[in-house]
Amino acid sequence: MDVGLLLSEIILAGAAGGLLLAEAFVPRLAKRRGMLLLATMSLVASAIVLVPRAGATATSFSGAFIVDGFTVYFKLLLLAATFLVLLGSGRFLDEVEDRQAESIALVLLATAALMLLVSATELITLYISLEMAGLSFAFLAAWHKHSDRSIEAGLKFFLLNALSSAVLLYGMAILYGITGETQLDAIAGNLASAPTPALLLSVSFLLAGFGFKVSAVPFQMWTPDVYEGAPTPITAYLSVASKAAGFAIVIRVLQTALPSAQQEWMTLVALLAAVTMTVGNVVALIQTNIKRMLAYSTIAQAGYILVGIAAGTDQGLAAVLFYLAAYTATNLAAFTAVIEISGRTNSERIADFAGLHQRSPWLAFALAVSLLSLAGLPPLAGFFAKIYVFWAAIQSGLVWLVLLGVLNSAISLYYYAQVIHDMYMVPGREAAPTRAMPPLAAALTITVVGVFGLGILSSFFMGAAEAAARTLSQ
């Protein structure tokens, strides 16, 4: 039993515990800057511990826990996302002044939970990590507990999350009944070569449960409400970290445990992908609140990512991995810009972004770049991500799905461009330009550079994604 494999998660949990203890016993020392420093240091330390593990596959805890290229890829993505979210959370932490330590600690614990989830290769471990992450998110969504909207978001997330895990659990129970196993690879070993109706029922329930995590239609309905109501940094965190881990576990379960039903799950995922991207884009067209619009946009993005999973090949997986990296950078750039913009104007209405270009050119530029990347315009990250995913799908014969995807991208350009149009073309009211807090500015710069870098140097990052995807299929 190699506890060392868990070190990166232990560091985060330890830092969270340290924060709570510091706040309880030496409140004078627990200043925001110090706490953020500790948190980011723990993230960095965790990443440093992880990187050397990328080369080899190691399992521990009776095969319940795995560290390989695939998990390291996702964990580094999660750590980077958490790091950037923390950088951009200054305003949020000001607003929850009396519970700063708990806020940061919960984010760290949620990250640890997602990292455990990514590494879980056994159903019980998977379930309990998932619940730990879900409960953290429910709290974080409700963290502005004096705000009607935040607490409503928390309630909705909590209830639907509980239901989704119930369905997931039912699917796991059936899978356990069929195979008598909870280890993913043992499940695959015990499955008959042809799927039975019971297995398909289980697969459907599992997909529904995971569909909730990744916001696939029709399991996505919590997404816009929670994204709108939750504190914006938490929304940013949910939209990237939770989603990335959700996709990681979908891929892990489908690939490792259910290869015998591959033909069936490919059909189901393709169906989900088609519905998800279409509904996401079409409803995004008529949104007036930027966070809601971005929520529907993330739903649409989940649809594109599902296209890559539906391809069912190594190439599709690599494309999904790359897509998630591109998506993380892009969405974080967008949300970080939105945090700052809406914080200044005290409004999340898209109409109030008018003339932003004059007031804060850098913010407007960052938001415009991220939106164009989401729309999939070259040479930004989103463009290459879409190319890779669509190409993999074409190679698997899913031409109809790719055509739908391209049509959807065209539709999406409309609402993304609308925001840019408002920012650049519509004169806005005068407001004194203010300076963003340095950490937030840094987060914004890093993400925008990422959006360009992942695009222009896509082949380099795609190479990493391919290597990570290969470790899974071995």
Please say which residue, 295 or 372, places its beta carbon nearer to other proteins: 295
When asked if residue 467 is in the footprint of other proteins (CB under 8 A), the reply is no
When asked if residue 388 is in the footprint of other proteins (CB under 8 A), the reply is yes
Distance, in Å, from the CA atom of 37 to the CA atom of 77, rounded to the nearest integer, reads 20
When asked if residue 400 is in the footprint of other proteins (CB under 8 A), the reply is no
CB contact at 8 A, 215 and 243? yes
- The reply to whether omega before 233 is within 30° of 0 (cis) is no
Distance, in Å, from the CA atom of 402 to the CA atom of 404, rounded to the nearest integer, reads 5
Distance, in Å, from the CA atom of 37 to the CA atom of 87, rounded to the nearest integer, reads 10
Q: Applying CB under 8 A, which of residues 4, 27, 34, 218 lies at the interface with other proteins?
A: 218
Residue with tokens 């729309």: 375
Q: Which of residues 191-210 bind other proteins (CB under 8 A)?
A: 194, 196-198, 200-201, 203-205, 207-208
Q: Applying CB under 8 A, which of residues 115, 448, 462, 472 lies at the interface with other proteins?
A: 462
Q: Applying CB under 8 A, which of residues 25, 52, 98, 474 lies at the interface with other proteins?
A: 98
Q: Please choose, out of 219-227, 231-239, 324-332, 426-434, the segment that lies near other proteins by the rule CB under 8 A.
A: 219-227
- State the number of binding residues for other proteins (CB under 8 A): 112
Q: Please choose, out of 39-47, 131-139, 249-257, 430-438, the segment that lies near other proteins by the rule CB under 8 A.
A: 131-139
Using CB under 8 A as the criterion, what x/- string covers residues 322-361 for binding other proteins? ----------------------------------------
Q: Please choose, out of 31-39, 73-81, 119-127, 298-306, the segment that lies near other proteins by the rule CB under 8 A.
A: 119-127
When asked if residue 178 is in the footprint of other proteins (CB under 8 A), the reply is yes
Please say which residue, 267 or 434, places its beta carbon nearer to other proteins: 267
At 31, is the secondary structure helix, strand, or coil?
A: coil
Distance, in Å, from the CA atom of 424 to the CA atom of 325, rounded to the nearest integer, reads 28
Using CB under 8 A as the criterion, what x/- string covers residues 420-459 for binding other proteins? --------------------------------------xx
- The reply to whether omega before 218 is within 30° of 0 (cis) is yes
Please say which residue, 155 or 430, places its beta carbon nearer to other proteins: 155
CB contact at 8 A, 104 and 35? yes
H or E element at residue 297: helix 290-311
Distance, in Å, from the CA atom of 166 to the CA atom of 171, rounded to the nearest integer, reads 9
Extract the tokens encoding 290. Answer: 């930027």
Distance, in Å, from the CA atom of 100 to the CA atom of 86, rounded to the nearest integer, reads 12
Query: Which phi and psi (to 5°) does residue 303 adopt?
Result: -60, -45
When asked if residue 146 is in the footprint of other proteins (CB under 8 A), the reply is yes
Please say which residue, 57 or 428, places its beta carbon nearer to other proteins: 57
When asked if residue 287 is in the footprint of other proteins (CB under 8 A), the reply is yes
Q: What is the rounded end-to-end Cα distance, in angstroms, of the chain? A: 23
When asked if residue 180 is in the footprint of other proteins (CB under 8 A), the reply is yes
Q: Which of residues 1-40 bind other proteins (CB under 8 A)?
A: 1, 6, 13, 17, 20
Task: DSSP letter for 287, please.
Answer: -
When asked if residue 106 is in the footprint of other proteins (CB under 8 A), the reply is yes
Distance, in Å, from the CA atom of 72 to the CA atom of 470, rounded to the nearest integer, reads 13
Please say which residue, 217 or 429, places its beta carbon nearer to other proteins: 217
Please say which residue, 147 or 428, places its beta carbon nearer to other proteins: 147
**Using CB atoms within 10 A of its CB, is residue 229 exposed (0-12), middle (13-18) or buried (19+)?**
buried
When asked if residue 274 is in the footprint of other proteins (CB under 8 A), the reply is no
Give min distance, CB of 314 to other proteins, in A. Answer: 10
DSSP letters of 262-284?
HHHHHHHHHHHHHHHHHHHHHHH
Residue type, 305: I
Q: Applying CB under 8 A, which of residues 54, 114, 160, 398 lies at the interface with other proteins?
A: 160
